[in-house]
Amino acid sequence: MCIKFIFRHDLLILQLNFLDLTADIQFLPGVGPKRATLLKTELSISSVEDLLSCYPYKYIDRSRFYQIKEINTDASYVQLRGKIANIQKVGVGAKQRLSVIFYDETGKIELVWFKGIRYVLEKLKSDTLYIVFGKPSVFNEIYNIVHPEIEPATAENQKLALGWQAHYNTSEKMKRNFLNSAALRKIMHTIVSGLTARLPETLPEYLINRYNLINKHDAVVNIHFPQTLDLLEKAQHRLKFEELFYIQLDILLQAKVRSRKYKGFVFSVVGNYFNTFYKKHLPFELTNAQKRVVREIRIDVGSGKQMNRLLQGDVGSGKTLVALLSMLIAIDNGFQAALMAPTEILATQHAHTLLEITQGLGINIALLTGSTKKKERELILSKLQSGEIHSIIGTHALIEDTVVFSNLGLVIIDEQHRFGVAQRAQLWKKNTTLPHVLVMTATPIPRTLAMTVYGDLDVSVIDELPPGRKPVQTYHYFDTKRAAMNGFVKQQIELGRQIYIVYPLIQESEKMDFRNLEEGFEHAKSAFPEYKISMVHGKMRTAEKDREMEKFVRGETQIMVATTVIEVGVNVPNASVMIIEGAERFGLSQLHQLRGRVGRGADQSYCILLTSHKLSHETRQRLEVITRTNDGFEISEADMRLRGPGDMNDTRQSGMPFDLKIANLAQDAQLLQYVRNIAAGLLDKDPLLETLENQLLALQIKKIAKNKANWSLIS
Ligand code: ADP
Ligand code: MG
């Protein structure tokens, strides 16, 4: 057993000598099969290369050893060298702790463990020199450090300890198995100190020179074991540059390939349907922003290129009308159009709205959802195939294989962040030539994110609300004040308005949430016995859901108690109060979406956020932002700042095709713009990366492509 192990180590050194970056990490000293599995499942690391590109998230200055007499409570972290004495277990049971005296020539300090006592006991020996690192505090008038890092002061460890020390993110499961940041650092050290050749360069020489970057080898070594602060910064810059550069190069290259490969349908005329609608049916004057966007779309679909456009417009800005006008252009040119919405409620509502305002125009609009009855479905499918239906509105049901079009020319996706990448892609495969694509979102995306996630989409923005809208007034109350609010609710209902009360529904505790909702319903019934109340939630059967929703839309019920199923798109202009229970459990963009359900008519509207008294710092900041501003872009920027782009739920749903390892979209916006320009300039000269000097780029891009889903049709 022992011999085998040593043999493996030899094997490893051999591999590193050849600098095989694809080598399996399980044969590295300090790894082994169990840790290798953990690294694979927790951090997706399986090769030496993966490991080297697992970058630290912070660095701590451990550039020197302190003497114990220097310790005072101002010092945040100290690193000490000394020996231990007096190992003692204090207390019993759950309150037990391990107390150890640690000393050097200048004094002594107590080290304390509450957890992992047995492990520490096994490890500590009284005649060994140790390095201790931690944050000192005072207890019973003596200095102590709780749960310090401690390791034997071997020559290697001393070398490792001194300097800017890298810290790595590890999961709870890894920590439980003692694969913590320090352990990862040791493994990194084995690799880095075992490197006998230089790491291969991943950027062309000419770019490195032109943009003053340090080489890959030095960057990787210094990102894990910084020699100086200056080198650390240069290493970070180089690696962020590389990461963002390749993402942009990939996106822009795909766009070039696509526009060469796919011609778009030409919608050359603006015909009868569009003009008649515009002159006779339009219920109100378009806002200037709507006009501008319609013009942008008209130019796009007439150009011979396949349109790939993202329409961003805050809640209530009137995207539906733009969708309809685009559909009419398609129909004028003999094509069919499809509008896909994320929920049945929303699809149904779109269908009603559009049927109503196009009445008498002579176009055929149909609705297809999961709950369309079999007979009706068959009829719709056959009319769709024959071309009799001009425009279909629906949910995911639209992407099923049985849905065949006669000549699909335009696909519109509403609230697109709700759909997965694969779902969206399926819809635009429904014609031999790719149809034009318009995706609409009311979740404004910060510019940097848009550039990354939707890098090659053209973006239109409706940055103006229809006239006469009053900004929604937003207030935060603790839920102990709920009763006081009832008076206000009554007042609003007496004025003829309608009220939403929304409860959070978060999957992990679905049962409890559901009880909250039902209790809320009972509560509303007893607080407002004189009014009629609807309730809608995700578990209801569709028909029932629709019926309840319909009653509220028609004004037969005054109060709607619901989960977030009503978050997106629902339009009841008469509703003027949005009450959000458990508001601390919602993200910023979700709160903004929910608030967008009111303020859609001419009345002053209100949004009331109820929370418990216990609020984290971050929650307070969220509440501050949402009560201060109605500007969706400002809110999304704040959201990204508070949560970090990696955590943005919507982003993840929109299928961000990569994880950023080192760059941060919130902090590195400028660098992102900078490298995007570099990538664009480079592709202008060498559109398909065919020149000799760009061969390395082409190779790297191929490697990226292998590691991601087929994104080329979609982004
Ligand atoms: P969203 O962009 O959130 O999808 P909608 O398309 O649902 O917004 O429009 C919100 C409301 O504003 C609807 O009641 C719609 O009829 C109305 N609306 C849209 N455009 C205009 C306009 N130019 N003038 C007045 N009201 C408009
Ligand atoms: Mg909408």
Query: Which of residues 561 and 709 earns the better pLDDT score?
Result: 561
Whether residue 165 is predicted with pLDDT greater than 50 in this model: the reply is yes
Q: Distances in Å between the alpha carbon of 328 and those of 269, 285, 410, 715?
A: 11, 17, 10, 25
Which pTM does this prediction carry?
A: 0.66
The residue with greater pLDDT, 213 or 600, is 213
Per-residue pLDDT band at 710 (split at 50, 70, 90): very low
pLDDT band at 456 (very low <50, low <70, confident <90, very high): low
Which range has the worst mean pLDDT, 233-247, 251-265, 698-712?
A: 698-712
Whether 364 shows a pLDDT value over 90: the answer reads yes
Distance 169 CA to ligand 2 centre (A): 39
- Judged by DSSP in three states, 446 sits in coil
The pLDDT, as a whole number, for residue 644 is 58
**Contact by Cβ (8 Å): 453, 654:** yes
Residues 105-147 have pLDDT tens digits of: 999 999 999 888 888 888 888 889 999 988 898 887 889 999 9
The mean of the pLDDT values for the chain is 85
Average pLDDT over residues 251-257: 84
- Contact between 364 and 391 under an 8 Å Cβ cutoff? The reply is yes
Per-residue pLDDT, 75:
65
The C-alpha angle 40, 43, 48, rounded to 5 degrees, equals 65
**Which of 340-349, 398-407, 410-419, 525-534 shows the lowest per-residue confidence on average (mean pLDDT)?**
410-419
pLDDT at 5 over 50: no
Q: Stretch 461-465: mean pLDDT, rounded? A: 88
Residue 453: pLDDT band by 50, 70, 90 thresholds?
A: low
What integer pLDDT is reported at residue 416 of this predicted model? 65
290 CB near ligand 1 (under 6 Å): yes
Q: How far apart are CA 604 and CA 73, in angstroms?
A: 55
Q: Is 466 in the pocket of ligand 1 (CB under 6 A)?
A: yes
Whether the CB of 170 sits within 6 Å of ligand 1: no
pLDDT, greater one: 431 or 209 = 209
Cα separation, 50 vs 53, whole angstroms: 5
Tell me: the pLDDT tens digits for 285-306? 999 999 999 999 999 999 988 8
Find the 461 Cα to ligand 2 centroid distance in Å. Answer: 14
Answer yes or no: is the C-beta of 349 below 6 A from any ligand 1 atom.
no
- Residue 318: pLDDT over 80: yes
The residue nearest atom 24 of ligand 1, judged by CA position, is: 466
E strands present in 451-605:
458-462, 473-478, 498-502, 533-536, 559-562, 575-580
Ligand 2 centre and the CA of 340: distance in Å? 11
Q: Could you tell me the two tokens for 43?
A: 């951090």
Residue 2 has pLDDT above 50, yes or no: no
Ligand nearest to the CA of 318: 1
DSSP 345-384: HHHHHHHHHHHHHTTTS---EEEE-TTS-HHHHHHHHHHH
The ligand minimizing its distance to the Cα of 444 is 1
Task: Give the range among 495-504, 521-530, 666-675 with minimum mean pLDDT.
Answer: 666-675
Residue 454 has pLDDT above 80, yes or no: no
The alpha carbon of 590 and the centre of ligand 2 are apart by a number of angstroms equal to 14
Percent of the chain at pLDDT exceeding 90: 45
Query: Are the CB atoms for 632 and 315 separated by under 8 Å?
Result: yes
CA distance 642 to 621: 8
Looking only at the bridges linking them, the beta strands covering 365-368 and 78-90 are: unpaired
DSSP structure class, residue 45: -
End-to-end Cα separation, the chain, in angstroms: 52
Q: Which residue has the higher pLDDT, 629 or 669?
A: 629
pLDDT of residue 626: 95
- 409 in helix, strand or coil? strand
Question: Quick one: pLDDT band at residue 669, thresholds 50, 70, 90?
Answer: confident
Q: Residue 368: what pLDDT? A: 97
Contact 596, 575 (CB under 8 A): no
Q: What is the pLDDT of residues 372-416, one digit of tens each?
A: 999 999 999 999 999 999 999 999 899 889 999 999 999 999 876
